[in-house]
Structure 1
Amino acid sequence: MDHIVLVGASAAGLTAADALRLEGFTGSLTMVGEELRPPYDRPPLSKHVLSGKLEPHKTTLRQDADLQRLRMNLKLGRRATHLDPAGRTVTLDDGDRLDYDGLIIATGLRPRHLPFGHGLAGVHVLRTLDDAVSLRAQLLAAPRVVVIGGGFLGTEIAATTRGLGLDVSLVDVEDTPLARQLGPQIGGLVADMHQEHGVRLHMNRTVTELTGTAGRVTAVQLDDGTSLPADLVVVAIGSVPAVDWLADSGLPLGDGVLCDSTCQVAPGIYAAGDVANWPHPLTGERTRLEQRTNATQQALTAARNLLAGPAEATPYAPVPFGWTDQYTAKIQFHGWCPMDARVAYVDGDPQDGKFVALYYTGDRVVGALGWNSARTLRAYHDRIAAPVAA
């Protein structure tokens, strides 16, 4: 194998490059990224960058000298537009064609948009570092903020903007924030936390319209007739895998790029990170994880399996791990947190703002969550089993 192309200048793409070199690959290595910036870390965007606690350039994952040591041909500000698996070429938006022997797809996600309102000034999404910088600049002159979406990104943005002293409303279709991610019981605690900090919650509500004056947003209209005044709106209603450039490639696509259990999509082609969808060996079900830790772990597996070849490839079977930091709460979780799971507090007390909870499906512990209890939480990791037997 002489030429490997990485599409996606992300944490997953960079980790794959590191792994390829560490595993002894000495051939040509090319990384393609849509943004002009070198790979950077995304989790700080909704927290430290948005709050102003972290300068944008400090999110960079590698200094220039470290990137040079990887001996990569970096094609930044370039977008892959076509893949020809038979001819083993990737075509870029400037017409350049990259030949490859091996390919790792790590294109990540694109933010989901509302079907209306995004043409108004003051309506934002947050995915890139440039998004965060732009949003931060406008927040300083926008006292009334409405966040649409109560997942991890939406609740982090709400916490950060409230911490800046702004008037914040959060809208979501579920009963509680983070209900789909952590279940309604923990979601209720998240709701209490936000309300205690002054966020106005509008749960079980759908946005029907964004209204504006002179081309700038002024209000968010809800399905119950409520009108929320807004100087700035952040739409955080989820993301979709960035696979549009693969539409005519013949690769299996669905909710992401469909891989096998070893992260292989097709001969010589692997995927990793938010875009990869694979049958998890522990659950028997297709999985796509939007977690920072998964991006690096899966990229390691994809790179090693690409070099090893199908006969020696190993299945990718992680126990998921994620976290969110909001106000003074650091919430971490291992495993799976089904909405219908039974949740039991096994250490500490929610009233004290410090506890560990276990998620049960039947008599199986399928997940563990720590609220300001990182050290205690680690003791429960080995008790976690998959929701579905292998």
Structure 2
Amino acid sequence: MSAPLWPAPTATEPVRASVPLPGSKSVTNRALLLAALADGPGTVRLALRSRDADLMADALRALGATMTPSNEGASSVDWAITPGPVAGGARIDVGLAGTVMRFVPPMAALSDGEVFFDGDPHARKRPMGTILAALRALGAEVDNDALPFTVRGPLTGGEVTLDASGSSQFLSGLLLTAARFEKGLTVRHAGPPIPSQPHIRMTVQMLREFGVRVDDSEPDVWRVEPGPIRARDFTVEPDLSNAAPFLCAAMVTGGTVTVPDWPSETTQPGDQLRQLLADMGASVERVPGGLSVTGTGRVGGIAADLRDVAELTPTIAALAALADSPSRISGVAHIRGHETDRLAALAAEINGLGGDVSETEDGLEIRPRPLTGGVFHTYDDHRMATAGAVIGLAVPGVQVENIATTGKTLPEFASMWADMLEGAR
């Protein structure tokens, strides 16, 4: 049965809105796992409530942590977490969440029992071999190189060399549990540059905030000392990557969108939106308590290496399709292994609306042309869905397939989009 179609609203006036955002998925899922491995009870406040975050909470509960929610809202929750001994015999549903499929297996390897992992059909196509081979090299039993697989520990830690150029999550997944290994862990990267470096810096910073000693002074080498992960209360920042479609709406419509509580300092890759959107013609300004983007009446093309911020590629590509000059996006070959092959999907869907996009080895070349309405397929990929919404602002008749897939990281997206546009009517 085909997924329902969502008529993407077309803006008739400049958008003028303030858009509060729920917590970062990347920060939420790291914080939940660290709290579940800590040396005592703790709280993760303003955590994102989404499919990916719920899958992480369910996985941690299955492995022995007590997860108690409170102050639940539409898209946020406070979790009181009491760690327990990591239990074998669990079955983990990773859905389509890269953080769950890459972060949880090293934790499962603390147990001497079998832990079974599986997920959505497309999850079985996502790269997993690198981190599973690393666990195997460290002494775990792993019966496959992709989902579904079973992990059995226990690991004592040590040293391992891997090629993390396919995903920074391979490295983060090992580092997050490393302090709990008896010998700690030294990880060496051998291969092309690791993408999404800000996510690695996020992992290292959060480990330090939880009291873990990490030495990353040598390039491509990370050393984590064995020891406790300190219990604490932790508050999650707003998700800056999820700000992308809303801030782009200001540019497309010539309006202004403000995101409250934009942090002054952060390791989130989404913070690079400030420079990217300015390079494409926006006026970007820090305001008291937030960040404002104002459209100048022009969207310019861009030549951008998005290796460190690959998750922004769909939104930047959608904006580039509406620009007045060509764009080239590079450095993102690895997003062929995300929720879908995002490069092929973006080219197919923008071209399906009359665009002119071609794939390169590591990105896209986008030559703007007048677009027409039509179905924008999402491939069960939340960022494809929001990209379609951005195009729909300027192109009447765009119908986004399965807008509900945004529930992966932003469950209230459709209503938030409508609320943003309400001020433009």
Is TM > 0.5 for Structure 1 vs Structure 2? Answer: no
Scaled by the length of structure 2, the TM-score of the pair is 0.26
Which structure: greater helix fraction?
Answer: 2
Using structure 1 for the length normalisation, give the TM-score. Answer: 0.28
